[in-house]
Each structure stands twice: as structure tokens, then as C-alpha cells.
Amino acid sequence: MLVAQTCHETGGYRWMKELGGPDYFARMYNNRSDLGNGPNDGPLYFGAGAIQLTGKFNYQRFSNWLKNQGMSDDRVMAEGANYVADRYPFLSAVCWIQENNWAAVCDKGDIYQSTRVLNGGYNGIDDRIKYYELACKYITE
């Protein structure tokens, strides 16, 4: 499930940052209380890393998590998505998975539920299913 979801989120691991520019991120993410974003947070806390960590709330959780792991890094909050994508693309995913107990969701094998929890909907579900079927074919227990 992890391979399928991260392959979709990153375009097959080609992009560790959400595609778009400052105007797009401002329009999509500024003033999003569900993400903990204020009026100018969209261009700073857009999607980054293997699961496209998004929103000030999630970046703060990641920053706190790093601190609790003995790896405090103030640049996470100061520089946001660009920094996290370059420095912590997979570690940010580990944090999110742990903080949201997502592994337990994935263990059930329900790609629709796993997608909804990760993405908030079913965005790209056909692509996620394609990657899931490929992963199941090549990864055995």
C-alpha cells in the first residue's frame, strides 16, 4: 500500500514537491483552517515529500516529531515545503504515518480507505490501484 500511495503522490518518485507555483499554492491553501493555514501559508506549506505532507499543522507536527527524535530542525517551519522535500522527503512520510496510525489502515488492504485517509478523498484512485496491483505482483510476503 505504501508503495502504491507514494508512487502516485510523487509521479513514480519523480517529484518530491507538489507541482504548481506560489499563486496556485496561495489559491489552494491560504486560509485553510483544516490544514492550520493562515493568510500567507499556502506557498510555504504546500505538498512535499513522499506522501506530499501539506499544511502548517502537519509541518508543525513533523517539526515536533523531529525534536522528539533528537533531531530538532527549525528550518522545517521557517522554510517549509522546499526544505522538507530536499532534506526529509521520506522521514516526513514516516512521521505522518506514525502520527496518523496509517499503517493500521493500510494493513486492511482497502485501497479506497487508505487513499481517503491519506488524501482526504479519492484523487487519482485509478493510478493508485494500478500501482497497488503492480506492487502486489512484485512484492511478496
Tell me the CATH number at 91: 1.10.530.10
Determine the Cα–Cα distance for residues 99 and 101; give it in Å rounded to an integer: 6
pLDDT of residue 32: 97
pLDDT of residue 44: 98
- For the residues 1-28, what does the mean pLDDT come to? 96
What is the dihedral sign for C-alpha 97, 17, 36, 123? negative
Range of the domain at 131: 2-138
Q: Cα torsion at 22, 23, 29, 30 (round to 10°)?
A: 100
User: How do residues 26-40 score in pLDDT, each as one tens digit?
Assistant: 999 999 999 999 999
pLDDT over threshold 80, residue 141? no
Query: Rounded mean pLDDT of the chain?
Result: 95
Q: 30 exposed, middle or buried (CB, 10 Å; 0-12, 13-18, 19+)?
A: middle
Q: 87 exposed, middle or buried (CB, 10 Å; 0-12, 13-18, 19+)?
A: middle
pLDDT over threshold 60, residue 25? yes
pLDDT over threshold 80, residue 127? yes
pLDDT over threshold 80, residue 65? yes
pLDDT over threshold 70, residue 112? yes
Determine the Cα–Cα distance for residues 17 and 15; give it in Å rounded to an integer: 5
Provide the domain count of the chain: 1
